[in-house]
């Protein structure tokens, strides 16, 4: 009976609807399916890119052709036909937006519905937003206000036009094109994303946020984000994502590169809520992401905070190269999988500089028939003295048809390193739920309370508005999952 | 207010309650005593709606409503409170957040608006002093790492917050030191009105010195085999349960 009860709640939680699943009816300009050098030339031409950019893409493509999709992850992915994907699709609208009024009303309506007003007056005053729909950036807010401080916050495409020297200097330095299969693919066909540049000594006065939306059918999204923080600067950057419900799977392969110089600090928060597929595992986004930052300067800091609730498949390991002496990095993650979702996620902390420090807090929550894996590497290089790492990987199970797995890897090349690892696995107990019930709290809310309590350590690291959204999302994505 | 008729309950095919009859009126205090394994906690759990147990026969009505037909959370909001024999730990969930959710769910059920943060904190302060519970406890996650006695105190604190019509306190006295016992019993007494009722399950007559029962029942082998005034508790203390067992043919 305990089991029946749990199954009942599990079903309830798993059967909730994905509320961002609508499709916007707008005309798209795409280049047709398929991938070859001509397509890449076409993408580059459409974006009026300088030659260095086309060369970069072609080099990446040629390398990608020699590579195979990685198979080491604990994921069961059907074969992907890379010729059956549209690599470039953009909402048709005027080439250059002068004001809000130029944004297609349908697109504005879409983002209003998602709770992201593009109108600067309506936006919370401390968040600047760049909005990317399918392959293009639609609108960046507060650009002028930021420019006064010398901060550049614009779409990647704009940056290629307006700041080619910066792009050329930094792009591909943290995630080289040959890094991995999906990184090479992204480097060949990437569409749009955000570019952030914080000059020396500047604290960015507001949160910078990019909102990614896949709308068009059969289209892959390949965004690219580059953040450069000069000495003594600071920025907090947020990223959110959604996609319509579609029966076929859609590919998303992104790259994020972050460069943090002396005494600078970057906080990078993600709420990933791509369409996870329906409760029978049909549809959903395949999410293959390479995110990496380098703490290049002394005492530089990089924090990753992520709440991952979406995607049919997630393959993602935000990583930090701790190169500068005394640099530090933290990774806080909550990954929820439900129904037939699969996630293989974690981080890599590469200690190179002396007295570098890293912290990893990973909280996996599995429900339904899903599989949730943590995969993390802590590497201390030979000449790195005094490295410290603390890792904690917890798994929470709802029901007994889901799986949680932990794959921690250690490569310690220097005896002075101190590395600690803790791991726990727990289940939401029927007795905990009953205890809440007895106080008047229904099962759904009880699970929300328990799960948010479990994930609190991570959520607390997120900026306020994001934390609130993340909490709701956790509850919604587990709705119907315990019974 | 509570009327139990011929209640039979089993778990995994094993009969545990074998025809319980019990009537509780507003303003009354009932004590239920009985040897280990007699079915006291089972009775309390069934009233609260734990579906681990199967009700195979009988009826329970609470304020005129069919209790067995209600979800556990609705029973709670109708006014049934169970003080758990073994309170559950909920790591990461703060007592404040937990109680706020619970109190507001109760209010919603009654058609009231949720309490504002400041009103809620005021209510908490008031109830904390009533049951003399330390803020050090209520600032922590629900029951996490609490000592046995602290957990019991926390149950009474929650009871004070929720102001139930019928409180079923399952061995709330066990594990309490002498001072704590008095504090907890005082709390229960202060919460007593003419309209609410209490069922205390206990092994010790000592508690009944503080919380004076109107009726004492002996539950033995799934049945209520004896019902009398509070002097019965003294008799049990003195003689143990052997004579009850003999009277009932064992
Ligand atoms: N989940 C369960 N599975 C199997 N048997 C159970 C379960 N819960 C209770 N029982 C059995 O039911 C009987 C009554 O248990 P219950 O907890 O109601 O006793 P009690 O009167 O409260 O005893 P105590 O004074 O020790 O608290 C016992 O024999 C117990 O082993
Ligand atoms: Mg008991």
3-state SS record for chain B = CEEEEEEEEEECCEEEEEEEEEEECCCCEEEEECCCCCCHHHHHHHHHCCCCCEEEEEEEEECCEEHHHCCHHHHHHHCEEEECCCCCCEEEEEHHHHHHHHHHHHHHHCCCCCCCHHHHHHHHHHHHHHCCCCHHHHCCEECCCCCHHHHHHHHHHHHHHHCCCEEEEECCCCCCCHHHHHHHHHHHHHHCCCCCEEEEECCCHHHHHHCCCCEEEEEECCEEEEEECCHHHHHHHHHCCHHHHHHCCC
**Which pLDDT score is estimated for A24?**
63
Q: State the number of CA atoms in the 13 A half-sphere of A136 facing the CB.
A: 22
Query: How confident is the prediction for chain A on average, in pLDDT?
Result: 84
Number of residues in chain B: 250
What tens digit of pLDDT does each residue of A363-393 get?
999 988 888 999 999 999 999 999 999 999 9
* Residue that the structure tokens 């993408």 belong to: A43
Q: Quick check: A439 and B94 CB within 8 A? A: no
Whether A441 contacts chain B with CB within 8 A: yes
Q: Are A293 and A257 in contact (CB under 8 A)?
A: yes
**Which pLDDT score is estimated for A12?**
47
Residue A443 to residue A448: CA distance in whole angstroms = 9
Q: Does A226 map to a domain?
A: yes
Average pLDDT over residues B203-208: 88
Q: Does A298 map to a domain?
A: yes
**Which pLDDT score is estimated for A14?**
39
Chain A hits for B73, Cβ within 8 Å: 437-438, 440-443
Structural domains of chain B, count = 1
ipTM for the complex shown: 0.96
Q: Is B90 in the pocket of ligand 1 (CB under 6 A)?
A: no
Residue A296 to residue A266: CA distance in whole angstroms = 12
Q: Does A7 map to a domain?
A: no
What tens digit of pLDDT does each residue of A11-38 get?
444 345 566 666 666 666 677 788 999 9
Q: For residue B161, give the chain A residue with the closest CA.
A: A439
Q: Quick check: A435 and B94 CB within 8 A? A: no
What tens digit of pLDDT does each residue of B238-249 get?
888 888 888 876
**Mutation to test the B interface, candidates A437, A440, A475, most B Cβ within 10 Å:** A440
At residue A338, the 3 state secondary structure works out as coil
For β-strands A194-198 and A89-91, DSSP reports them as: unpaired
Give the domain extent around B46: 2-247
Q: Quick check: B90 and A445 CB within 8 A? A: no
Write down the pTM of the prediction. 0.80
Structural domains of chain A, count = 1
The residues pairing with A359 across neighbouring beta strands, listed in sequence order, are A330, A390
Q: Is B11 in the pocket of ligand 1 (CB under 6 A)?
A: yes
Q: Are A290 and A179 in contact (CB under 8 A)?
A: yes
Q: Read off the CATH number of the domain in which B82 is found.
A: 3.40.50.300
Other CB atoms within 10 A of residue A414 CB: 15
A467 band by pLDDT with thresholds 50, 70 and 90: confident
**Which pLDDT score is estimated for B247?**
81
At residue A421, the 3 state secondary structure works out as strand
Query: How confident is the prediction for chain B on average, in pLDDT?
Result: 92
CA B110 to chain centre: 22
Backbone Cα Rg of chain B: 18
Whether A456 contacts chain B with CB within 8 A: yes
The residues pairing with A374 across neighbouring beta strands, listed in sequence order, are A345, A406
Q: Does A39 map to a domain?
A: yes
A401 band by pLDDT with thresholds 50, 70 and 90: confident
- Closest of A309, A354, A360, A343 to residue A472, by C-alpha: A309
Q: Does A18 map to a domain?
A: no
Give the domain extent around A262: 28-477
Other CB atoms within 10 A of residue B90 CB: 25
Share of chain B above pLDDT 70, in %: 99
Q: Whose CA is nearest to atom 29 of ligand 1?
A: B37
Residue A181 to residue B70: CA distance in whole angstroms = 56
Q: Quick check: A438 and B91 CB within 8 A? A: no
pLDDT at A329 over 80: yes
A206 band by pLDDT with thresholds 50, 70 and 90: confident
> What residues have CB less than 8 Å from A263, skipping those under 6 apart?
A231, A232, A297, A298, A299, A300
pLDDT at A151 over 90: yes
Residue A373 to residue A365: CA distance in whole angstroms = 10
Q: Are A267 and A305 in contact (CB under 8 A)?
A: yes
Q: Are A291 and A263 in contact (CB under 8 A)?
A: no
CA A206 to chain centre: 20
């Amino acid at each position: 009976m305990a089991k029946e009860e749990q199954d009942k709640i599990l079903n309830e939680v798993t059967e909730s609807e994905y509320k961002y699943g609508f499709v916007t009816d707008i005309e798209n300009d795409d280049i047709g399916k398929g991938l070859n050098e001509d397509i890449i030339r076409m993408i580059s031409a459409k974006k009026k890119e300088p030659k260095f950019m086309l060369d970069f893409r072609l080099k990446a493509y040629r390398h990608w052709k020699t590579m195979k999709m990685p198979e080491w992850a604990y994921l069961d992915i059907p074969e992907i036909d890379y010729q059956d994907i549209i690599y470039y699709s953009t909402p048709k609208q005027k080439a250059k937006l002068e004001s809000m009024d130029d944004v297609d009303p349908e697109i504005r309506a879409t983002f209003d519905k998602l709770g992201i007003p593009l109108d600067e007056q309506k936006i919370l005053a401390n968040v600047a937003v760049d909005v990317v729909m399918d392959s293009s950036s639609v609108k960046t807010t507060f650009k002028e206000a930021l420019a006064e401080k010398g901060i550049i916050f614009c779409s990647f495409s704009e940056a290629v036009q307006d700041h080619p020297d910066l792009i050329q200097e930094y792009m591909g330095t943290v995630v080289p094109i040959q890094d991995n299969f999906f990184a090479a693919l992204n480097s060949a066909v990437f569409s749009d994303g955000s570019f952030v540049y914080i000059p020396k000594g500047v604290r960015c006065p507001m949160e910078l946020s990019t909102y990614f939306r896949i709308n068009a059918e059969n289209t892959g999204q390949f965004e690219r984000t580059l953040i450069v923080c000069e000495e003594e600067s600071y920025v907090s950057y947020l990223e959110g994502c959604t996609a319509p419900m579609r029966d076929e799977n859609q590919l998303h392969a992104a790259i994020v590169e972050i460069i943090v110089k002396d005494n600078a600090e970057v906080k990078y928060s993600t709420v990933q809520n791509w369409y996870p597929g329906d409760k029978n595992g049909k549809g959903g986004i395949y999410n293959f992401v390479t995110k990496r930052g380098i703490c290049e300067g002394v005492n530089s800091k990089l924090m990753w905070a992520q709440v991952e609730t979406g995607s049919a498949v997630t393959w993602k390991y935000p990583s930090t190269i701790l190169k500068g002496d005394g640099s530090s990095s933290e990774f806080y993650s909550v990954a929820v999988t439900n129904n037939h979702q699969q996630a293989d996620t974690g981080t890599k902390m590469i200690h190179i500089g002396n007295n570098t420090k890293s912290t990893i807090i990973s909280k996996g929550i599995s429900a339904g028939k899903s599989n949730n894996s943590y995969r993390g590497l802590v590497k201390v290089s030979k000449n790195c003295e005094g490295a410290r790492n603390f890792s904690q990987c917890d798994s929470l199970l709802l029901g007994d048809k889901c799986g949680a797995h932990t794959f921690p890897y250690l490569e310690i090349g220097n005896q002075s390193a101190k590395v600690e690892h803790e791991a726990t696995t727990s289940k939401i107990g029927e007795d905990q739920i009953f205890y809440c019930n007895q106080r008047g709290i229904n099962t759904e809310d009880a699970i929300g309370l328990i799960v948010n309590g479990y994930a609190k350590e991570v959520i607390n690291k997120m900026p306020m508005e994001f934390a609130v959204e993340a909490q709701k999302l956790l509850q919604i994505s587990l709705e119907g999952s315990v019974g | 207010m509570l009327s139990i008729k011929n209640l039979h309950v089993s778990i995994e095919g094993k009969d545990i309650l074998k025809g319980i009859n019990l009537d509780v009126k507003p303003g009354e205090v009932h004590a239920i005593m009985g040897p280990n394994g007699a079915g006291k906690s089972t009775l309390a759990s069934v009233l609260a709606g734990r579906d681990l147990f199967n009700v195979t026969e009988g009826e329970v009505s609470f304020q005129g409503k069919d209790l067995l037909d209600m979800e556990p959370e609705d029973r709670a909001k109708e006014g049934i409170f169970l003080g758990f024999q073994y309170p559950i730990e909920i790591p990461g969930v703060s007592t404040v957040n937990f109680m706020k959710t619970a109190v507001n769910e109760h209010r919603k059920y009654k058609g009231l608006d949720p309490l504002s943060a400041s009103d809620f904190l005021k209510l908490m302060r008031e109830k904390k002093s009533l049951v003399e519970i330390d803020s050090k406890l209520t600032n922590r996650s629900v029951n996490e790492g609490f000592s046995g006695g602290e957990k019991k105190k926390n149950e009474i604190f929650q009871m004070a917050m929720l102001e139930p019509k019928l409180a079923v306190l399952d061995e709330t006295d066990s594990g309490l030191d002498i001072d704590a016992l008095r504090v907890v019993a005082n709390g229960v007494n202060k919460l007593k009105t003419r309209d609410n009722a209490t069922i205390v399950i206990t092994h010790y007559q000592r508690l009944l010195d503080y919380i004076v029962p109107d009726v004492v029942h002996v539950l033995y082998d799934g049945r209520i085999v004896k019902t009398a005034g509070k002097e019965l508790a003294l008799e049990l203390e003195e003689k143990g349960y052997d004579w009850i067992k003999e009277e009932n043919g064992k």
